[in-house]
A and B are shown apart, each in its own frame.
Chain A
């Protein structure tokens, strides 16, 4: 309710001012001399695993550059004096040489020496309390306004000690894709123009069933300080619209619950709010967002990013579309799978069919009865074809079965 009142207020003021304010022009602001700033992203956890730190640099507003920093010296030290070294696995990505986990009661500091010789160090970060996910479950429901229906992924968790309070969630979803118009045969060119001929042969690779794994890229956070107890109850981590094709067959999500320090929570919260100014009315006071990493010899230098020490708990669930939408229409495939039959040769001497096979824009479905022309095409050929993604699921995923699958 409050939100609706606020929106009405905003609209009223906006309309009122649009009458008074006569001019909004595009402004040509000169991007000032670009100064590359170091960006550090890393969360080390209390799970015994290879920990990862990402180091990159900023790039100008109008270009996109490869931004990872190579050749840096990265290590994490704890308050007992132990050092964990990291090595570069790929550009900008540094993995710990040996798996380690953070231990409650110690503090951890990140040290970076860039290839240019600059030394950076984070603040000593303590280890927050640990809270396990009590329950991860899915429910079919409507979004607030009732317009959209879909699947909600909910999390329940409880910390009786009341120490955790600040949570951040990441997820990784894996879903099964089945190409709707798949057949076991591929069309190929027997002879090219001017005497085109085509035939079919069996497919050499799996193209019917694929899987895609996509990590989350938004910041999902929750704090429980305003509740009476440190309990997360039915918190929606993800909502998937029922029309989203990823639900079509089998879906799995791995949800990770990170317990954060208050400073980390505030950092991510501000980062999230400053990044989404899509509309004129969501006006924020912007500025440089300070993290917890500093240049040792020049503490005033801007460093972007946050070194997080978190405890993590993860859980995975699986479900099939049929479990929640039995006998209901499947979501649409990402593209329309219209059946077409491009002619093998046209009056002008070109061959749309050969071009489609060569460029792999269409896939073979079945032979087409040219005499009866049951689909009433204006022009047709011996083959009935469909856009490639409809016959080959590898366009959207990979045909390698992921290890986590328990089919």
Chain B
């Protein structure tokens, strides 16, 4: 618009259609979807339209220069997302299920606003940025209480769609030149989901907002490179995240002549925090100009600290006793050696 202000506006109409060949299950209106309320199953032929979703998506962003190297950006966008990801922290192995929208599962809609401040220091050697965002979403997909997580053929009977809320603040420092370069970032981000209904079996946590499976409040990461000489350099990568939420058993009780376990509210607790340090060392071949191929060696160790970051925590009854197990991947430091060349 002028020297200082730059505005981008975009409008898009997106459409998604579920096509046959498939069997579409239709459930009774107004009651929870489960095996008992299945009304009929309709067969669709190849490439026949089963269900169509669509809507406008708006994007607006603006940038304003407050000083020569200080700018502020603001943005608003609304989107439709037709594919859903169902993840969990309670299975033995990390399995995420991807689900496309269909006649029973509506697409997600999101509306996000963002605001950021950016400052460059010292002739672009340092970049500092501070960003914040707030997002509202509809029709997020998550599991019901007591649903089966793996290999579920009729996923619409085990999942619910609800509203979501997410917000966060990110802080980043980046150094681009010099012997020591890299970046350090810290993010505080929350993500919540609300699953409410007039039916108790479709309510989770009393229909109040609760942390989603991927809610990680604190996220700290740093990537640093140090050049010793032109041929030798080292790099370090540190990441730290708060543990993902999990649901624990908290008590037992007697019911119907036998004993049952009480579980806490969904995602009320967290698995242990995740942190990992990787170190690497680069050795470059000599820098003669006329070499046929330039090569370099890289020796690095993944997960130097050897922390066995749990991916999930699950409970098993063994001999009448309730035990907890954590499953983690790569719990030992993994050394690697790589030889690269380019010509």
Where the two chains meet, the residues of A that have a C-beta atom closer than 8 Å to any C-beta of B are 2, 6, 9-10, 13-14, 17-18, 20-29, 31-32, 34-37, 39, 41, 56-61, 67, 165-166, 215-219, 223, 225-226, 262-263, 265-267, 269-271, 273-275, 277-292, 299-300, 302, 304-305
Contact = CB atoms under 8 A, between A and B. Distances in A.
B331 A226 contact: no
A304 B147 contact: no
Interface string B301-343: 0000000101001111100001111111111100000000000
Contacts of A28: 324
Contacts of B93: 13-14, 17-18, 20-21
B88 A10 contact: no
A218 B258 CA distance: 8
A262 B256 contact: no
Nearest to B204: A287
Nearest to A34: B251
A29 B248 contact: yes
Contact of B31 (A61, A262, A280): A262
A23 B311 CA distance: 10
B260 interface: yes
B272 to A, nearest CB: 8
A278 B317 CA distance: 5
B151 A39 contact: no
Nearest to B323: A26
Interface residues of B, number: 71
Given A274-B146, A278-B316, A165 B36 contact: yes
B262 A304 contact: yes
B77 to A, nearest CB: 31
A213 B150 CA distance: 40
Contacts of A271: 146, 255, 260
B36 A223 contact: yes
A35 B330 CA distance: 37
Nearest to B265: A288
B140 to A, nearest CB: 15
B38 interface: yes
B35 A223 contact: yes
Contact of A290 (B206, B248, B257, B258): B206
A290 B262 CA distance: 11
8 contacts: A10-B151, A13-B95, A226-B36, A266-B201, A277-B317, A285-B145, A289-B145, A290-B145
B66 interface: no
A288 B145 contact: yes
Interface in B139-153: 143-151, 153
A285 B251 CA distance: 17
B249 interface: yes
A275 B320 CA distance: 12
B322 A26 contact: no
Contact of B35 (A226, A267, A288): A226
Pairs of residues from A and B, 8 with the lowest C-beta to C-beta distance, nearest first = A270-B146, A217-B257, A58-B251, A17-B93, A285-B143, A27-B326, A287-B145, A287-B266
Nearest to A299: B206
A294 to B, nearest CB: 10
Contact of B147 (A2, A35, A219, A284): A284
A56 B256 CA distance: 12
Contacts of B150: 10, 13, 281, 283
A10 B93 CA distance: 12
A90 B249 CA distance: 29
B61 to A, nearest CB: 38
Nearest to A36: B251
Nearest to B308: A23
Most B CB contacts (10 A, CB to CB) among A23, A31, A269 go to A23
Given A223-B36, A278-B316, A283 B251 contact: no
B149 A22 contact: no
Given A21-B93, A278-B316, A59 B248 contact: no
Given A24-B92, A58-B251, A283 B314 contact: yes
B264 interface: yes
A271 B310 CA distance: 28
Interface string B67-100: 0000000000000000000001011111100000
Contact of A305 (B91, B151, B255): B255
B251 A60 contact: yes
B269 interface: yes
Interface in B187-212: 199-201, 203-206, 208
A217 B256 contact: yes
Interface string B99-123: 0000000000000000000000000
A27 B313 CA distance: 8
A21 B327 contact: yes
Contact of A217 (B148, B258, B264, B266): B258
Given A285-B144, A286-B145, 10 more contacts: A2-B153, A9-B151, A21-B92, A27-B326, A29-B313, A262-B31, A275-B260, A284-B90, A284-B148, A288-B262
Given A22-B331, A226-B38, A275-B260, A283 B325 contact: no
Contact of B261 (A10, A225, A275): A275
A118 B332 CA distance: 52
B147 A215 contact: no
B256 A67 contact: no
Given A165-B36, A284-B146, A22 B329 contact: yes
A25 B149 contact: no
Given A25-B308, A25-B325, A27-B313, A61 B251 contact: yes
A37 B151 contact: no
Contacts of B2: none
Given A56-B254, A283-B91, A20 B329 contact: yes
Nearest to B201: A266
Given A26-B323, A274-B146, A280-B316, A288 B263 contact: yes
Nearest to A286: B263
B37 interface: yes
B243 to A, nearest CB: 12
A287 B253 contact: no
Nearest to B90: A283
A56 B252 CA distance: 11
Interface string B207-225: 0100000000000000000
A216 B330 contact: no
Most B CB contacts (10 A, CB to CB) among A24, A26, A217, A269 go to A24
